[in-house]
Amino acid sequence: MGIEDDLYTLVQRGGVFYDIEGDNPAEIYNNLCSVMPVPSGCSRKELQKELMERENVLSTAVGNGIAIPHPRKPLIQEDADERIVVCFPKNSVVMSTPDSKKVFVMFVLLTKNTQSHLHVLSSLAKLIHNTEFRKLLESKPSKELLLENIKKSLH
């Protein structure tokens, strides 16, 4: 499977969520975890707690209005449970960012181990480095359009 297929599959599995309420990362994570599909063997409460604990250690905001939240430790064991959940908060949220831009999109990574996490993170970094793709994100595209552009951007 190529990088774009990995990201495509992971986003398709995780889903895309719009207008998630919250004025800070804790509220966003709490509200997102209440509506997103949670992998088997992982509770919504545990996931929300892990995302916030990671955020408290170091901001997951990477700049350009993008954050890549993830638990500090793997919460899943199976390949089939790995996913990327795309979250578009209702209002951009202030996070500690390298460029001081408010975060308008979050890619929540759920992977089974460090090796998988680094592979997905590297693939995602290449994707969000693409200016056209970042512009697309600003329009809060439909899940279908987002997936289509994931494939297109990495070819």
Does residue 106 sit in helix, strand or coil?
Answer: strand
Which parts of the chain sit beneath pLDDT 70? Answer: 1-5, 154-155
**Predicted pLDDT of residue 1:** 40
pTM (two decimals): 0.94
**Predicted pLDDT of residue 21:** 98
CA distance 150 to 51: 24
**Predicted pLDDT of residue 98:** 86
Q: Output the furthest CA–CA distance in the chain (Å, rounded).
A: 38
| CB-based contacts of 31, cutoff 8 Å, min separation 6 | 20, 21, 22
Closest C-alpha among 7, 4, 2, 3 to residue 84: 7
Tally of CB atoms within 10 A around 141: 17
Question: ∠ CA(18), CA(119), CA(31), 5° rounding?
Answer: 25
| CB-based contacts of 42, cutoff 8 Å, min separation 6 | 75, 76, 81, 110
**Predicted pLDDT of residue 35:** 96
Q: Tens digit of pLDDT for each residue in 38-78?
A: 988 889 999 999 999 999 999 999 999 999 999 988 899 89
